[in-house]
Structure 1
Amino acid sequence: MASKRPVRGATINTRSSRFNLPGTEEDGDWLDQRDTVDGEAPTLRTHVTVEQPRTIISRNASPDVPFDRSINPYRGCEHGCIYCFARPTHAYHDLSPGLDFESRLFAKPTAADLLRHELGKPGYVCRPMALGTNTDPYQPIESDWRITRQVIEVLAETRHPLTITTKSDRVCRDLELLGDMAAAQLAAVCMSITSLEPRIAMTLEPRAPAPARRLKAVERLAAAGVPVYVSIAPIVPAITDGEMERILESAAAAGAKAAFFIPVRLPHEVAPLFRAWLDTHFPERAGKVMAIIRSLRGGSRDNDPDFFTRMKGSGPWAELLATRFRLTCRRLGLNGERIVLRTDLFRPPAGPQGELF
């Protein structure tokens, strides 16, 4: 499948050399190798490749994330968020974490069938399933592929709790499923809002829905009884950090129950991509931004991979952000109660014999 959209996030498309693969600036597409088409830069097309995984549930034992299992219906993400920590995963496919990550996508159409099989295994222990932990389950191609919808249908059928993290109001398409699940304490949604300024949001996250649409989605979800978090993730110092209070105020007014924030992380190939993006869009403050990021990450690094500190940073800047966040949430009544999902309602899917009766 292929489609055309005009705006991309990354400004470069260099492939990684971390896995001893040859570096290159081009991806082999003849259109991408031409300087211009009819006097203009060529449109970078979105390609979707079918992936046939053997399993669909990913497990983790990270001590600083609140889930131990997740499902990612897609690899790569057309939203094109320049800071996305998942970009380096494209290097495993001999593709660039830059433009390839947001234009050469992988879809897993057998996800629902695989999920049904894995939930039916003897000894499966139910805990909340996280969707959207790596790439957005409601990125634009979900409108056609509907893999996320199919996964939610299986989880709803088996009364399995889930959380969804997204930047898209497309989540409201599945509101009838999520509303019913939330009524039984089986669903919660986290809406990511990094900026309320349309121009900044469009630059940071070029193909994600506008901030106003995301806030409207929070309102619709909350009105339907779905518990909603808002994540300010990431906060980009000297670009979006000044908006923290406004975002929290808007989230609370829309009906969000809780919120959290994460300072920008720049693992592996994300760091040079982010630096190139700064040089293109914010050259006058690029040095300041990177100096503060290094301050947040121990004083000399672009990224801190260590558990516990990687999600919140360290040093004076991290303490200031945490204080502002805590005081604002207290004023607005956010994070006043913990959102708890039930696991005791889970019923395994019927096996081949059960489906005969």
Structure 2
Amino acid sequence: MSDRQQKTKGQGAFINPESRFLKNRDGDAFDDLQFEEVENRKTTFIEVYPKTIINKVKSPDIPLSYSMNPYQGCEHGCTYCYARPTHEYWGYSAGVDFERVVLVKKNAPELLEETLRKRNWEVKTIMLSGNTDCYQPCEKKLGLTRKMLQVLLDFKHPVGVITKNALIERDADILQELARLQLVGVSISITTLKEDLRRKLEPRTASAKKKLRTIELLAEKGIPVNVMLAPVIPALNEEEIFSICKAASEHGATSVHYQIVRLNGPNEAIFSNWLSHHYPDRSEKILNQLRSMHGDAVNSSVFGKRMRGEGHFAENIRQQFAVAQKRFFSEKQTNHLRTDLFCPPLQEGDQLTLF
């Protein structure tokens, strides 16, 4: 193992690009963090207390109305993660900071309950999480996601969960109750079945073997599981479309979807640097094929195209996926989540209103 690999073991990004909002950080309580630091450093957890926890999803190509994230920043260290640039809004870098400085929204369960009790609340599926992984390693100790799932079960509110971590197995009891009421859908993200690639691409996620075991365990408990083949990266993991779909189906997944990688904002520099380190022999090939799918850029913001791409390479991926989906999932069914069961539990003193 090289000196650089030793210093950055378990870390996705090797660089820490300057935040676009660095000039706004004067007086920030966390200014002592060094942006140039790229070596492996201990993860810092900072408790924050936001005023809201549920976000409206306004993107027309995302079939969700709300999302919520108990954590900002993510220990998983996925090199390509589209959520990296959001760390800049908090004054940090999208690079190493994103995976080594995690903001913990300590009051998230209480905020969720307060929001669901509002008279004008419109019941639609909430996604856990739309940005960073709600089952990243710190969740094992902090338990915010489990508390939020319990609130949703108490209110009989529909929820979708997406994760790359087998830690979701811990909450199978709550998820099973939600599934019994047709109130939950789980998505497990699988990028590759190759462990060597997985360690480099998303170093602190669960292995593919563990993810497949998790799919099987949840399916056995009647919890519907979708697999997200995301992202598909040309000349890196696109050859695994068939094998991932096959494995997902055999382990009990009821559906599968995919997305093509897009390198928004500082992600281009972060991912390009990662490629030059791990795959110098094909880095330009990967980036050039990616540009061909996003109109000569490595990212597209056009709704409907940004996650599917266009051109010959994107069409090739689409056709491969369509064949795999038809072969392995044609006889499987998915159910829509219910919204008619919503019922806020009584609070102390509410009984008086019955008389």
Map residues 39-58 of structure 1 onto 2, 5 A cutoff: 43-58=40-55
Identify if the C-alpha distance between structure 1 residues 281 and 168 changes in structure 2 by more than 3 Å, giving closer, same or farther: same
* Pairing of 1:199-278 with structure 2 (within 5 A): 199-278=196-275
Residue matched to 1:37: none
Structure 2 matches for 1:1-357, cutoff 5 A?
6-17=9-20, 20=23, 28=32, 43-298=40-295, 300-334=296-330, 336-351=332-347, 353-354=349-350
Q: Secondary structure at the match of 1:101?
A: helix
Q: Tell me if structure 2 keeps the 8 A contact 1:235–1:262.
A: yes
Which consecutive residues of structure 1, in runs of 5 or more, have no partner in the other structure?
34-40
Return the alpha-carbon distance in structure 1 between the equivalents of residues 111 and 32 of structure 2: 33
Q: Given residue 48 of structure 1, which amino acid in structure 2 is its aligned partner?
A: F
Aligned length: 342
CA–CA distance in 1 between the matches of 2:109 and 2:351?
Answer: 17
**d(CA) in 2 for partners of 1:249, 1:212:** 14
**TM-score when normalising by structure 1:** 0.91
Q: 1:103 to 1:249 in 2, by over 3 A?
A: same
Q: Measured at CA, do residues 5 and 144 of structure 1 come closer, stay the same or move farther in structure 2, by a change above 3 Å?
A: farther
Please report how far the alpha carbon of residue 20 of structure 1 lies from its aligned counterpart in structure 2 after TM superposition.
Answer: 4.8
Q: For 1:207 and 1:306, how far apart are their aligned partners in 2?
A: 31
Instruction: Indicate the SS of the match to 1:250.
Output: helix
Determine what percentage of the aligned residue pairs are the same residue.
Answer: 37
Tell me the CA shift for residue 21 of structure 1: 5.8
C-alpha deviation, 1:316, in angstroms: 1.1
In structure 1, give the amino acid aligned to 2:321. Answer: F
Contact 2:73 2:84 in 1 (8 A): yes
Distance in 2 separating the partners of 1:99 and 1:292: 26
> 1:117 corresponds to which letter in structure 2?
E
Give deviations 1:266-319, integer Å, cap 9, x for gaps.
000111101000011101100000000001101x11100111101111111111
- Report the alpha carbon displacement of residue 62 of structure 1 after superposing the two structures with TM: 1.1
Question: Structure 1 residue 14: deviation in Å?
Answer: 2.0
What SS does structure 2 have at the residue aligned with 1:230?
Answer: strand
Cα deviation for residue 333 of structure 1 reads 2.3
Amino acid across the alignment from 2:335: I
- State the Cα RMSD in Å: 2.1
**Shift of the alpha carbon at 1:100?**
0.3
Instruction: Report the Cα distance in structure 2 between the residues aligned to 1:331 and 1:81, rounded to whole angstroms.
Output: 30
